[in-house]
Amino acid sequence: MDSASITTGQRIKAIIGGSIGNLVEWYDWYAYAAFAIYFSHSFFPDSDLNAQLMNTAGIFAVGFLMRPIGGWMFGSIADKIGRKKAMTLSVLLMSFGSLLIALTPTYQSIGILAPLLLLLARLLQGLSVGGEYGVSATYLSEMATQDRRGFYSSFQYVTLIGGQLIALGIQLILQKLLLTEAQLEEWGWRIPFVIGAMLSIIALYLRANLHETEAFENTKEVSEKKKGTVKELMKHPKALLTVVGLTLGGTLAFYTYTTYMQKFLVNTVHLTKEESTLVSFVSLFIFACLQPVFGGLSDKIGRRPLLLGFGILGTLCTVPLLTALSTTTSIWGAFFLIMAALIIVSGYTSINAVVKAELFPSEIRALGVGLPYAITVAVFGGTAEYLALWFKKIGSEEYFYWYITGCILFSLVVYTGMKDTKKTSTLDKD
């Protein structure tokens, strides 16, 4: 099916289908982060809260180590046999990981097997999410019309944040309406993982009915030896290094203000678990709504101005924002500080998917977007929580703020030296 025969309705349906599958995957991924404050004691020996959270964050980080393998494996599948098949397979793997977490007995019941099974589940989920990003970013960018790529592809982060919102929303419902804190810590934390496995059925249905992209269909004439191979990818070293530099500061900032922030609010700001969940939920909802606004803006003024805005403001404001946040005593003060940070980060999150897709030709696009991104996220995004908690443990939490600043500054140098991909997009050649 070529682009001329895809109606606007079908195109929107494809974008929604791809995005909702992405939402389910990221819900499963974030349910772990959102409920870690309740289940950490179930998988590790009795100890102080910070130590248990460090162990749980350590497994969260190890899950990220599988992401480069997932980026390579699913990127190759997407470039060789289709975006649609790769996305369907990745959501199946994620649901299995969620079900395994839901059913694993506690440390008190089976000893060392409990954290080992938790680790296995996270490795499977890491494999899945590692593949999901590159494939869905490629799919959304390829399905979009030329003048709306920034807008359409921004929905990857709408659904990525949406997955976290659903996890936090379920947490709020369980906290406020259904369960006591004791019940949540004893068995209630398993509920979101069961829900995640069930939601995967919806995603599977939607993805099974997606259109394949014209860009992939056009690669049928390309030699199989050139599709989705690392050898072919290595012929684009500048694009590869650009993805790494582009991602480094952005992914660290994103994981700090989303995944880690709930724990920061409990552990450092000393809000209650319920207050931290509420602040996270409202700020993330607004953050999700901002993505299409910034994405649409990039279609008007280009991608580079948004990246430069994130790089400059992120470099200048990270230390002041986090320092102020660490000393605030007001729930509203915490909300506005986090919101300011998320507005800055939107300059990266809203368009990073389309920028990466615009760097590579279609026969290696999913691999090119997914693999270097996954490696960078594994090293910097996946270790954000663990490093933050470690710096706190040694009494030097402010060092983490400077670490984020340094990484954003590195990305700013990359943004300064790169061309605006809206003007040089390889998608125009498909």
Q: What CA–CA distances, in Å, run from 88 to 83, 84, 131, 384?
A: 9, 6, 11, 29
Q: What is the pLDDT of residues 374-386, one digit of tens each?
A: 899 888 887 888 8
Q: Which two tokens stand for residue 238?
A: 């500048």
DSSP codes, 86-141: HHHHHHHHHHHHHHHHHHPPPHHHHTTHHHHHHHHHHHHHHHHHHHHHHHHHHHHH
DSSP code of residue 375: H
pLDDT, position 347: 96
Predicted local confidence at residue 51, as pLDDT: 64
Q: What is the dihedral of CA 396, 398, 399, 402, to 10 degrees?
A: 180
Residues of the chain with pLDDT under 70: 1-6, 46-54, 57, 60-61, 221, 223-224, 430
Q: What is the pLDDT of residues 221-271, one digit of tens each?
A: 676 677 778 889 999 999 999 999 999 999 999 989 987 888 888 888 888
Phi, psi of 258 (to 5 degrees): -115, -75
Q: CA–CA separation, 243 vs 240, rounded Å?
A: 5
pLDDT for the residue 2 = 46
DSSP 3-state of 382: coil
Based on the number of CB atoms within 10 Å of its own CB, is 33 exposed (0-12), middle (13-18) or buried (19 or more)? Answer: buried
- Type of residue numbered 9: G
pTM, two decimal places: 0.84
